[in-house]
Amino acid sequence: MKLEQATIKDIARELNVSSSTVSRALKDYPGISDETKRKVKELAEKMNYRPNAIALSLRKSRSFTIGVIIPEVVHFFFSTVISGIEEVAFSRGYNVILTQTNEKLAREKSSVDTMLSNQIDGFLVSYSKETTDFNHFSRLLDQGFPIVFFDRVPEIEDSVNVVVDDFKGSYEASKHLILQGYRRIYHISGPVQLKISKERLRGYQAALEDHGIKFENSWVIECPRGDENEAKEITLEILKTNSEKPDAFFCHNDMAAVGVMMACKEMGLKIPQDIGVVGFSNWQFCTMLDPSLSSVAQPGFKMGAKATEILLDIIEKKINTKETQNTFVLDTELLVRKSSVKI
């Protein structure tokens, strides 16, 4: 029951011309009589002719398809990025093949393989949490295969990256807490192997240092999963056991911030009076929480759009990887809401 698509041959046979004539007529090549062009186009329309992109890909070794590898689709930030990718790809005539790794390295590798099999023209990648060695990517980069990394970017020479300014976003958020009068600011951090976690940690530390706050290592707690339950557990433990208690939390993501808020409420602490909280990512739910959660907004759509533009420019050789800068940094925006405004 397959779709019987008309081919160039069909048109040619019907019109008693050669298939090259049809091919040329359809593409308005010079040296084809207007008469023939007209007839060909008319019949093509009538037969509902549609060029076979697969045949074209084979011929040109170009698929006009880009592969997107992402940890999770059900994730506000990433879905926003996908939206940006899709938008630009569509407008420039490219298809988007999508896979999610579910944070599994094995799946990431296997996706790379199938996508390469499918002759994609380039990759857009945000790698999984399990990914610590980048051979499966650097091998491709060495061969000159177009890859643009976004958000989670590797520390490989010559890789092209699009990131947000995690350091600055983190710095601003921490500074904001300090200016609000919070002093014992803890940091719920992400998985330390991720560069974004490191950057956010650095920004936090820099802000504290710059404002003369002496902090201890015990103020930084890693939350590898980064969901609200994990953060809640950890926060409860801190609030119950630590002798010197925190008066604010800067969290590496919003879900962790929710966990912190839950724990505080459970312990009878008032936000923002007793404890200030700031998250990261500005998920939709920030405004829905009580109190509303201050957060560092990441420009997801813009990141997807930018990464795609760069990738397509590389593919179409409008820019040369070697000559261009290789890390594009997008600005974050601190959105101050009730959870961190003491005064």
Partner DNA sequence: TTGTAGGCGTTATCAG
Partner DNA sequence: CTGATAACGCCTACAA
Q: Is residue 36 a contact point for DNA (CB under 7 A)?
A: yes
Q: Is residue 20 a contact point for DNA (CB under 7 A)?
A: yes
Instruction: Answer with the entry of a second copy, DNA, none that 327 interacts with (C-beta below 5 to 8 A by kind).
Output: none
Q: Is residue 116 a contact point for DNA (CB under 7 A)?
A: no
Instruction: Indicate which single residue of 55, 73, 116, 179 sits in contact with DNA (rule: CB under 7 A).
Output: 55
Q: Is residue 27 a contact point for DNA (CB under 7 A)?
A: yes
Instruction: Indicate which single residue of 117, 217, 241, 325 sits in contact with a second copy (rule: CB under 8 A).
Output: 117
Q: Is residue 135 a contact point for a second copy (CB under 8 A)?
A: no
Instruction: Indicate which single residue of 28, 31, 155, 325 sits in contact with DNA (rule: CB under 7 A).
Output: 31
Instruction: Indicate which single residue of 31, 34, 45, 143 sits in contact with a second copy (rule: CB under 8 A).
Output: 143
Q: Is residue 216 a contact point for DNA (CB under 7 A)?
A: no
CB atoms within 10 A of CB 192: 12
Bridge partners of residue 279, in order along the sequence: 295
Q: Per CB under 8 A, which of residues 63..92 are in contact with a second copy?
A: 63, 65, 72-76, 79-80, 82-83, 86, 90
Instruction: Indicate which single residue of 41, 184, 265, 338 sits in contact with a second copy (rule: CB under 8 A).
Output: 265
Instruction: Answer with the entry of DNA, a second copy, none that 268 interacts with (C-beta below 5 to 8 A by kind).
Output: none
Three-state secondary structure readout of the chain: CCCCCCCHHHHHHHHCCCHHHHHHHHCCCCCCCHHHHHHHHHHHHHCCCCCCHHHHHHHHCCCCEEEEEECCCCCHHHHHHHHHHHHHHHHCCCEEEEEECCCCHHHHHHHHHHHHHCCCCEEEECCCCCCCCCHHHHHHHHCCCCEEEECCCCCCCCCEEEEECHHHHHHHHHHHHHHCCCCCEEEEECCCCCHHHHHHHHHHHHHHHHCCCCCCHHHEEECCCCCHHHHHHHHHHHHHHCCCCCCEEEECCHHHHHHHHHHHHHCCCCCCCCCEEEEEECCHHHHHCCCCCEEEECCHHHHHHHHHHHHHHHHCCCCCCCCCCCEEEECCEEECCHHHCCC
Instruction: Answer with the entry of a second copy, DNA, none that 138 interacts with (C-beta below 5 to 8 A by kind).
Output: none
* Stretch touching DNA by CB under 7 A, among 23-31, 104-112, 186-194, 273-281: 23-31
Q: Is residue 294 a contact point for a second copy (CB under 8 A)?
A: no
Q: Per CB under 8 A, which of residues 164..203 are in contact with a second copy?
A: none
Nearer to a second copy, 116 or 192 (CB): 116
Pairing of strands 294-297, 333-335: antiparallel
Number of amino acids touching DNA (CB under 7 A): 30
The C-alpha torsion from 94 through 96 and 97 to 101, rounded to 10°, is: 140
Q: Is residue 21 a contact point for DNA (CB under 7 A)?
A: yes
Binding site for a second copy (CB under 8 A): 1-5, 50-55, 57-58, 61, 63, 65, 72-76, 79-80, 82-83, 86, 90, 95-100, 107, 111, 113-119, 140, 143-145, 228, 255, 258, 262, 265, 283-285, 287-290
* Residues at the site binding DNA, with contacts judged by CB under 7 A: 5, 7-9, 16-21, 23-27, 30-36, 51-52, 55-56, 58-61
